[in-house]
Structure 1
């Protein structure tokens, strides 16, 4: 009977390690593709954590923090029953992103003609980069933006649907109850944001702005 030499044993160990690494990377890739189906075809996961810190089961359950960025270096919790390990992975994604086609001054409303599309690595761009131009058409720049600069959600805000001092329609709704009145907005707000309204009798109420600029109150 042949004995397995230390060299062969080491080679078998390396082969097993590479197989396990491929399997774990495949599972992580499937997890992140399900998380970002839009870019699934152009998504690659690179496992950066040493093998000694990998989960000790065949099919770990993966979790990421709710505020985790979508691409780039991400910490992933891998659960095997009651045991939890943390993996550092690099999620590489290629796709389209939005840049400005001209100099945009702070306070300007963005138009479709101000925007262009570029293609490249999304994971190396700033967090919350904008990939859909429709998401920010009519949005207001809150800083000066240079031509060709990738746009992020932190550079813009949605336009005010209601401004302080503006007369607004207040719609109060409840169980079998619906009433409409008028008041004056006390603060600026975009759609879905809260706003305080002073009614004609002096009472102050709070509600949320709808897409038409009306104030909705639930009773």
Structure 2
């Protein structure tokens, strides 16, 4: 009887020891996995060229795997970018076991920050109001904080209008601005037709609203209807 009880105690102690060892191995494996995922992501970001020749400081970090995961030992890991994921902002690194007794596939949460100079609003701008130099200042921001691209060129926002109400401190991004409407249908405009080595101009009547950079239709004095690109408040350009 004592031998039987002693055997149970030994087996129980052995099982406990093995369990602790297994837990330790899993924890160490998770840490190694996160370290390798970090190295892979850092390399992928470097090779992507997103640093824009040093204009952006790229910072990469990875989060922790779900503590409830129990991953079997693996002889060969493959790291990859999951479909729909980006090397930008909040993202994930896919990890799959391609050589092991049990195949598994997990993803590690990660963040890629891209810090650099951008045009930032110094004061609020109402929807529909034009944006000018007095409204912005250059400051460092995280370009990757949102998926909406940063407007890094002055020409991309100057004299555009706010597409929604904007607040001070926001970096200018693509969906925040849109071209201004500069004339209404019925307005008299100057039509400039230009080709190789020549340019002629005449007046016409706008048939559609004029938005800078977009096409507008114009009726000429002879009744002919033409389409051209709106240049400014009263000019439409036709390239021949």
Q: Is the 8 A contact 1:69 1:127 kept in 2?
A: no
2: CA distance, partners of 1:64 / 1:35: 20
Indicate if the aligned counterparts of 1:168 and 1:184 stay in contact, CA closer than 8 A: no
Q: Which has the larger radius of gyration?
A: 2
Q: Show CA shifts across 1:24-83 (max 9, x none).
A: 2222233344262236533224246649699x9644443664xx78743346778999x9
Contact (CA 8 Å) 1:169, 1:215: kept in 2 or not? Answer: yes
Q: Which residue of 2 aligns with 1:43?
A: 59
Secondary structure of 1:44 counterpart? strand
Partner of 1:24, secondary structure, is helix
**Which residue among 69, 72, 81 is the counterpart of 1:62?**
81
TM-score computed with the length of structure 2 as normaliser: 0.56
Q: Which moved more, 1:154-163 or 1:10-19?
A: 154-163
The RMSD of aligned alpha carbons is 4.8
Q: How many residues align?
A: 204
CA apart distance, 1:140: 2.2
Residues 99-178 of structure 1: matches in 2 within 5 Å? 99-124=120-145, 127-128=147-148, 130=150, 132=152, 134=154, 135-159=156-180, 164=185, 165=187, 166-170=189-193
Corresponding residue for 2:209?
A: 187
C-alpha separation between the residues in 2 aligned to 1:59 and 1:53? 18
Structure 1's unaligned 5+ residue stretches are none
Any residues of structure 2 matched to 1:7-86 within 5 Å, and which? 7-33=20-46, 34=48, 36-38=50-52, 41-47=57-63, 50=66, 58-62=77-81, 65=84, 71-74=88-91
8 A contact 1:99–1:115 mirrored in 2: yes
When the two structures are superposed, what TM-score results if normalisation uses the length of structure 1? Answer: 0.60
Residues 170 and 181 in structure 1, CA contact (< 8 A), matched pair in contact too: yes
Give structure 2 stretches of 5+ with no counterpart. 1-16, 99-103
